[in-house]
Structure 1
Amino acid sequence: MTAAIHHFARAALFAAALGSIPAGAALAADGLTIRDLVMSAPQPDARSDATVRAVRAFYDFWNNGDEAYLKQAISDRFTDHTLPAGRPQGPEGPAFASRAFRIAVPDLGVTVEKMIVAGDYVTVHMTFTGHFSGRFGDTAGKGQPIHFIATDLLKVVDGRITDNWHIEDNLTLFQQMGLANAAP
């Protein structure tokens, strides 16, 4: 077997074992879809396996709200470096955010469009979808479709997410919810 074929075979086995995928393909398991996974290492190893498992659990959590996934994913010393006002710092922060958002969008789901693993860091670009059928503050939803993007930069140490830097397209979200006017 040539080195290139051997590398491809190992990468395919790695992708299958983790529920991840080669470039250009899509996979949906447990409701979470990852459209593209890019690994910077020439071949998977135990550290990259643990990193991808932690990140996948984090987005399984965002996809379905099950906090058991969150506990698998993040470290006790988790730090949100772009902490929004009102959200607690630490491991409770993502759980708090998910619960609050699911009051407004009960059918919230996430699709990972691109996941790039580079050593201890993982960049994830995703799409959130659902319907604003709940409440956000004093505003009641009317079933408006929600579709917006977000990007995270995660640091993973010993198979647990320790740090997160994130940005969400809140303007699009608020326009879809009727909380902000569309640009003229």
Structure 2
Amino acid sequence: MTVSSPFPFVRPARAAALAALLAAAPAAFAAAPPLLQPARLIAAAPDDANDAARVLAARRYASFWNSGDPDLARAALAPDFVDRTLPPGRIQGLAGALQASRTMRAAVPDLRCEIQQMIVAGDRVVVHLRFRGRFDGRFGTVEGSGQAVDFIATDIYRIAEDRINENWHLEDNLGLMRQLGLVAPTG
């Protein structure tokens, strides 16, 4: 299903009630950055409350990567979150995700993320993300010169109790390293 409603996983009557509830939310919630919407959402039961909670957790985590807001990561990740494909040098858990975000934002201050597609199946959510920005900062010892950065990542989340408990991910790190000038282009 292609997403067109601000609440793609909720029936229209329930969406109106949810919109009214959100409109009455405290001002503190209004200051939070908006959550990213998937360009394409595929779910067997999009009206199911469990699927809706899984979609919400995945949207919060993608929105964290888009904005760098650590509150979104805290809301998305379980206290015992485990990264099953932990890159060398990254610490486990929430602290590792926050560290990775700070590192990327130091290199690409205008980093933006979009959810190209999201697939919900049981307790798993697969998210295909695209990241873009300009390398105007510093990555390790390398200083950027404003070159464009554009790479993809695919994550598989296991979600329980409305939070991401485990993550398996694959990023186009070779493409990113080439764009940052850390690896020579082929050809």
TM-score range, shorter chain: 0.7 to 0.9
Structure 1, residues 80-137: CA drift from partner, whole Å, max 9, x if none?
A: 0000011111121111100111110111110100000111000000100011000011
Query: Separation in 2 of the partners of 1:101 and 1:9?
Result: 31
Is 1:44 matched up with 2:56? no
Question: Percent of pairs identical after alignment?
Answer: 44
Moved over 4 A (4+): 8-18
* SS state at 2:170 partner: strand
Contact 1:130 1:147 in 2 (8 A): yes
Q: Name the counterpart of 2:86.
A: 83
Identify if the C-alpha distance between structure 1 residues 11 and 140 changes in structure 2 by more than 3 Å, giving closer, same or farther: same
Opposite residue 169 of structure 2, the aligned amino acid is H
How far does residue 12 in structure 1 lie from its aligned partner after superposition? 5.5
Which amino acid is 1:76 matched to? P
Match of 1:34 in 2: 38
CA distance in structure 2 between the partners assigned to 1:36 and 1:9 by the alignment = 12
What is the correspondence of 1:89-100 to structure 2 with a 5 Å cutoff? 89-100=92-103
Q: Which residue of 2 aligns with 1:126?
A: 129
- Following superposition, the deviation at residue 30 of structure 1 comes to 2.3
Cα deviation, residue 48, structure 1: 1.2
Unaligned 5+ residue runs, structure 1?
1-7, 19-28
The root-mean-square deviation of aligned C-alpha atoms, in Å, is 2.2
Which segments of 5 or more consecutive residues in structure 2 lack a partner in the other structure? 1-7, 20-32
CA distance in 2, matches of 1:100, 1:171: 17
* Match of residue 148, structure 1, among 123, 134, 151: 151
Cα gap change, 1:161 to 1:140, in 2 (>3 Å) = same
User: Does 1:66 pair with 2:69?
Assistant: yes
Contact 2:177 2:183 in 1 (8 A): yes
Per the TM alignment, residue 40 of structure 1 is displaced from its structure 2 partner at its CA by 2.0
Normalised to the residue count of structure 1, the TM-score between the two structures is 0.83
- The 5 A counterparts of 1:166-177 are 166-177=169-180
Amino acid at match of 1:137: G
Residues 33-72 of structure 1: per-residue CA shift (max 9 Å, x gap): 421111022x522211211111111111000000011111
The alignment of Structure 1 onto Structure 2 pairs a total of residues equal to 166
- CA 1:11–1:46 in structure 2 vs 1: closer, same or farther (change >3 Å)? same
Q: Which residue of 2 aligns with 1:57?
A: 60
Q: Give the structure-2-normalised TM-score.
A: 0.82
* AA aligned opposite 2:39: R
1:162 aligns with 2:177: no
Whether the aligned pair in 2 keeps the contact of 1:31 and 1:63 (CA below 8 Å) is: no
